[in-house]
Amino acid sequence: MRKTFLICVAVIFSAGIFAPLGSLFLRITPEGFVQVINSPQFSSAVWNTISTGLIATIISLTLALAAAWTLERTAIKHKNFFVIIFGVPMLIPSISHSFGLVALFGANGWLTNIFQWNFNIYGAAGIIAGSIMYAFPVAFFIFMSVLQCEDGSPYLAAEVLGVPKIRQFLDLTLPYLKRTIISTFFAIFSMIATDYGVPLMIGGKTITLSVLMYNKAVAMMDYNSGSVIGAFLIIPAVIAFLADILNPAQKQNDFAKNISVDDKYSSRAGFIFCLSLSALIVAPILTFCVMIFAAKYPADMSFTLYHVMRTIHRGALDNWLNSLIIAFISAGVGTIFSFALAYFSTRTEGFAARIIHLLSIFPMTIPGIALGLGYVIFFHDLPIYGTLIILAAVNVMHFFSSPYLMMRNTLEKISSNVEAVGKVLGIPRRFIIRDIILPKVRFTLYEMFAYFFVNAMMTISAVSYLAPPAPKPIALMITQFEAQRLIESAAVVSIAILLTNLALKIFFTMLNRKTPASQ
Amino acid sequence: MDIQLKLEVKEISKAYGNNEVLRRVNFAVLDGEFFSILGSSGCGKTTLLQILIGLLVADAGKIFKDGADITTLEPARRGMGIVFQNYALFDNMTVFKNVSYALQFHSVDNEAAIKKAAQMLDIVGLKNFSAKMPAELSGGQQQRVAIARALALEPDIILFDEPLSALDASTRLDIRRELKNIQRTLGTTMIYVTHDQEEAFALSDKIMILNRGVVSQIGSPEEIISAPANDYVKTFVLDNLQTKIDSLRRFLT
């Protein structure tokens, strides 16, 4: 049984990760490599990627840390509301953030028209702004969860010793967050550098590496140059991966106390800050909602269903259904697969468990666009190419690591003595898993399912190479409408994705509330 | 062979890499005996317990139960139960279900399982807590559920892995008393792992003192007190006990 399981895992990872990645690297020839790196486009793309990426990373991390700290350490009101709002950008594709910015600050944007002022949103400024909107929620939730676990005892001691709040932040909070800040910095930089949705839409003449790769591999079908750039895009993700594993997590003190929020420490500035951030996050989405139903945004704001109907007539409904099927398959298969691997790596010991763990976190190092190109090269002549199966497969492999780590963290908190008791009492392992483990981890299972689903609904990276012309994942219609300058239809698609993801999130929230804590 | 011999351990050794955790451990436990394995943290007592129950495989040595070699037998076929320090309860199941759950895998019909679980909960004084969830119970009550669960399959040996370490002093005394009662009532052989000298001396018919994976002494509490086998036994066991007696005296005067 164990041997069969390990063979299956080896086959899946070989076919799903290593063979496509190997095919990508095998495409790189010395001549092609030299040609790409000597091109003027390449050096400017490298500079643009690093400069915009670094600025956006620093700003998103600063905002995310400030927001997380404000919500965790002050007594401001409506915390749950802010948490929900800050999470909304995670439910729409990255390209939609740029659309929102264009709708507000672009040449014909709402705010541009009101203020009659050129915001110069196209180019590096737009890439930075869009990337911040895209990356902020990810960093925010990382900081929130880490701050929630912080031991409150040192703060009690500091209060008693009369240490001012600012020194508590500098001398206690920041050192505690050091590891998280370092690994989140690399993770967010890698996320921004490998995303092509934001720069494609709003970058104008500022081309980043990911857009260059998209242009080469998707638009010009130049897979050799695409492979060279794809290999370069793996570098930041590998650095992020190494930063994470070389910077091990601190063990939580067994006697940790929760940090109590002092009611007197209510922060008006914190509330205004969170409210302003929420406004910035909600504004593009609200603009989308207005734009969808406006006859000609922003000149003629009379109500119409024309844009919605036009989007449907162009195949949005079929593509939406197609996306739903892909998302459900990806989420179902991905959840089962990541649970199985997390269970194996936490509940068994030895070399095989360590290898499974390393294999499971390895997909984090591969940007979606590089993986997608690898799939094109490797699977091109196989019968599954162009089918739903390959789209679901690439989603599962691309998004696998995070749900795996979610489940691993949950399983590590469950004593392995449960299985030991099962063995001693003669309870078969499948019953221990079904009756004891699964009920205990069900909330994590829901989270994993939602993670796969939401990402499968909105991804435009790996699937952009693999999707057939019709039906295709609905998120890809945004790039199509971008090319056709049908901004209202792109907004319809963005809102459709947002509502679908929101519906799933609400469903799981209700399920969590309805499911009894015990059976 | 002595007909009263329940468990016999011969030349058990275990190493993790170069770290030798157990070295040629030999001991025997009589039927119905309360046998404690006493030692400081890291001396190999939990490893030994896991080898006895079959959760770990020894590098060398044999284990005999009722004269039969059980060294390679699966844990569930050894006729033993185990109680862990952290209870390891199935916390998504009620107290009753925790105790009755395993019976379905041993061809016990539903009616008999219900009867058996009720009987075990009665023995540990939790008859009125059947419908509660583990999270609703105190630490001591949770440990009683774990004991009832272990008893439900009628094992002839129960192993305890520092079962009272996480409990407060008063609850520890209560459970100690109950364990002795259960041992007397059911005649179950008990093997008890602890680092607490006082606990071992209060409960045991026989104590084995383990030091860095090697048996230092085996004997009744009286034998160990009157004739400690070496300096380790004297320091680790007797001096510690003496300190506790002295502080108790100071408190009383």
Contacts of A418 in chain B (CB under 8 A): 88, 90
Name beta bridge partners: B218: B208
pLDDT tier at A158, thresholds 50, 70, 90: confident
d(CA A173, CA A147): 8
CA Rg value for chain A: 24
> Measured in Å, how far apart are chain A's first and last C-alpha atoms?
29
What average pLDDT score do residues B104-111 get? 91
Indicate whether A517 pLDDT > 50: no
Contacts of B55 in chain A (CB under 8 A): 420, 423-424
Of B54, B86, B92, the CB nearest to A417: B86
**pLDDT score at B252:** 61
**pLDDT score at A107:** 84
C-alpha distances in Å from residue B163, one per residue of A235, B124, B143? 51, 15, 7
pLDDT tier at A109, thresholds 50, 70, 90: confident
Yes or no: say if A211 and A201 are a contact pair by the CB < 8 Å rule.
no
d(CA A500, CA A315): 17
Report the residue of chain A nearest B81, measured CA to CA: A424
Q: How far apart are the CA of B207 and the nearest CA of chain A, in angstroms?
A: 24
pLDDT in tens, A324-340: 999 999 999 999 999 99
pLDDT tier at B170, thresholds 50, 70, 90: confident
- Residue type for A309, please? M
**pLDDT score at A518:** 41
Question: Strand ranges (DSSP E) for chain B?
Answer: 5-16, 19-30, 34-38, 60-65, 68-69, 80-83, 157-161, 189-194, 206-211, 214-219
- Residue A272, exposed/middle/buried by CB under 10 A (0-12, 13-18, 19+)? exposed
Indicate whether A123 pLDDT > 90: yes
Q: How far apart are the CA of B90 and the nearest CA of chain A, in angstroms?
A: 6
pLDDT tier at B12, thresholds 50, 70, 90: very high
Of B82, B105, B133, the CB nearest to A426: B105
What the block records as the tokens of A170 is 């500098």
Phi, psi of B22 (to 5 degrees): -130, 135
Q: Do A424 and B55 touch (CB under 8 A)?
A: yes
pLDDT tier at A364, thresholds 50, 70, 90: confident
Of B91, B94, B102, the CB nearest to A426: B102
What is the CATH T-level fold of the domain A1-38+307-514, as seen in this structure?
MetI-like fold (1.10.3720)
Of B82, B94, B106, the CB nearest to A424: B82
Query: How crowded is residue A361: how many other Cβ atoms within 10 Å of its Cβ?
Result: 18
Report the residue of chain A nearest B83, measured CA to CA: A421
Yes or no: say if A505 and A450 are a contact pair by the CB < 8 Å rule.
yes
Q: Do A518 and B133 touch (CB under 8 A)?
A: yes
Q: Do B94 and A518 touch (CB under 8 A)?
A: yes
Name beta bridge partners: B191: B35, B159
Domain ranges of chain A: 1-38+307-514, 50-207+268-296
Superfamily of domain A50-207+268-296: MetI-like (1.10.3720.10)
Contacts of B90 in chain A (CB under 8 A): 418, 435-436
**pLDDT score at B166:** 81
Q: Do B88 and A417 touch (CB under 8 A)?
A: yes
pLDDT in tens, B61-98: 999 999 999 999 999 999 999 999 888 999 889 999 99
Indicate whether A252 pLDDT > 70: no
What average pLDDT score do residues A300-321 get? 94
d(CA A40, CA A489): 35
Of A424, A431, A435, the CB nearest to B76: A424
Question: Mutating which of B16, B90, B106, B120 best tests the A interface, going by the most A Cβ atoms within 10 A?
Answer: B90
Mean pLDDT value across chain A: 90
> Measured in Å, how far apart are chain B's first and last C-alpha atoms?
52
**pLDDT score at A336:** 97
DSSP one-letter string for B125-192: T-GGGTTS-GGGS-HHHHHHHHHHHHHHT--SEEEEESTTTTS-HHHHHHHHHHHHHHHHHH--EEEE
Q: Do B92 and A431 touch (CB under 8 A)?
A: no
Query: How crowded is residue B58: how many other Cβ atoms within 10 Å of its Cβ?
Result: 22
pLDDT in tens, A481-493: 888 888 899 999 9
pLDDT in tens, A42-64: 999 999 999 999 999 999 999 99
Which domains, and CATH codes, for chain B? 1-74+158-175+189-253 (3.40.50.300)
Closest of B145, B209, B198 to residue B176, by C-alpha: B198
Contacts of A420 in chain B (CB under 8 A): 50, 53, 55, 75, 82, 84, 88
Does the fold of domain A50-207+268-296 match that of domain A1-38+307-514?
yes
Yes or no: say if A396 and A330 are a contact pair by the CB < 8 Å rule.
yes
CA Rg value for chain B: 19
Indicate whether A519 pLDDT > 50: no
> CA dihedral defined by A290, A292, A293, A297, rounded to 10 degrees?
70
Q: Residues of B near A (CB-CB distance < 8 A)? A: 50, 53-55, 74-77, 80-82, 84, 86, 88, 90-94, 101-102, 105-106, 133, 149, 153
What average pLDDT score do residues A349-377 get? 90
Query: What is the CA angle B58-B60-B66, rounded to 5?
Result: 75
Q: Residues of A near B (CB-CB distance < 8 A)? A: 415, 417-418, 420-421, 423-428, 431, 435-436, 439-440, 517-519
Among A429-433, A448-452, A470-474, B209-213, the range scoring the smallest mean pLDDT is A470-474
C-alpha distances in Å from residue A30, one per residue of A33, A35, A228, A231, B110? 5, 9, 10, 13, 72
Report the residue of chain B nearest A417, measured CA to CA: B88
Q: Do A435 and B94 touch (CB under 8 A)?
A: no
- Residue B160, exposed/middle/buried by CB under 10 A (0-12, 13-18, 19+)? buried
What average pLDDT score do residues A79-93 get? 93
What average pLDDT score do residues B224-253 get? 78
**pLDDT score at A154:** 84
Instruction: Name the pairing type of β-strands B60-65 and B68-69.
Output: antiparallel
